[in-house]
Amino acid sequence: MTKAIKLLTALPHKQRERLMELAKEVSFPEDTRIFESGGTADRFWVIRSGAVHLDQQVTATRRVTVASLGAGDLLGWSWLFPPYRWDFGAESFSQVRAYEFDGPAVLALSVEDPLLGLSLVRTVAEILAHRLEVTRGRLLEQYTITRRGL
In this predicted structure, what is the pLDDT of residue 149?
66
The pLDDT tens digits of the residues spanning 19-60 come to: 999 999 999 999 999 999 999 999 999 999 999 999 988 788
89 Ramachandran zone, left/alpha/beta (phi>0; psi -120 to 50): beta
Coil vs helix vs strand at 35: strand
In this predicted structure, what is the pLDDT of residue 76?
96
User: What's the pTM value of the predicted model, to 2 decimals?
Assistant: 0.88
Residue 1 has pLDDT above 80, yes or no: no
**Residues forming a β-bridge with 24:** 100
The pLDDT tens digits of the residues spanning 96-105 come to: 999 999 999 9
Q: How far apart are CA 49 and CA 38, in angstroms?
A: 26
